[in-house]
């Protein structure tokens, strides 16, 4: 399998911050896909200071499980640093590492915060994702066929 496929959320920072349910299908190297349990992806920013939207995903998870174990916990915290987000993601999914796909690296304080909790950040250039599909904000409803 050469894909990271999972449910997650797009976190938007700022005064009107939000958590929008999302799913990701990302084509990556096969060895990498097999290793990723949770990921954070920044498709937009050139550095951490410019970070306004971050996609976080747990591979193989359903939207309901992600909401209960991760999104609801982030919402309860109200204000989160990038370290808080990555820590909540890792703990909620029972992962000991978070794969970060971005054009930047987290600062030393964030790395130290996660190391203190025995969580490693594995950084990858955004170009490690060869192609990606993100679906966000969709509601699903099932009904019986007539």
Mean pLDDT estimate for the chain = 90
Q: Per-residue confidence at 77, pLDDT binned at 50, 70, 90?
A: confident
Mean pLDDT in residue range 96-121:
95
**Residue 68 has which token pair?**
């209960």
Please say if the pLDDT value at position 145 is more than 60: no
Per-residue three-class SS string for 40-109: EECCCCCCHHHCCEEEEEEECCCHHHHHHHHHHHHHHHCCCCHHHHHHHHHHHHCCCEEEEEECCCCCHH
State residue 138's pLDDT score.
63
Please say if the pLDDT value at position 121 is more than 60: yes
Please say if the pLDDT value at position 140 is more than 90: no
Please say if the pLDDT value at position 143 is more than 60: no
Delimit the domains of the chain by residue range: 3-136
Q: Per-residue confidence at 89, pLDDT binned at 50, 70, 90?
A: very high
């Amino acid at each position: 399998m050469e894909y990271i496929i999972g449910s997650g959320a797009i976190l938007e920072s700022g005064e009107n911050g939000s958590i929008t349910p999302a799913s990701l299908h990302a084509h990556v190297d096969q060895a990498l896909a097999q290793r990723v349990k949770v990921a954070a992806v920044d498709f937009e920013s050139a550095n951490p200071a410019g970070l306004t939207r971050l996609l976080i995903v747990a591979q193989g998870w359903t939207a309901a499980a992600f909401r209960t174990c991760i999104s609801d916990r982030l919402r309860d915290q109200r204000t989160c640093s990038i370290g808080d987000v990555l820590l909540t993601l890792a703990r909620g999914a029972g992962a000991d590492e978070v794969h970060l796909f971005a054009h930047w690296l987290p600062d030393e304080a964030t790395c130290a915060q996660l190391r203190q909790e025995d969580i490693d950040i594995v950084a990858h250039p955004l170009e490690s994702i060869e192609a990606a599909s993100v679906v966000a904000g969709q509601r699903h409803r099932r009904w019986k066929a007539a």
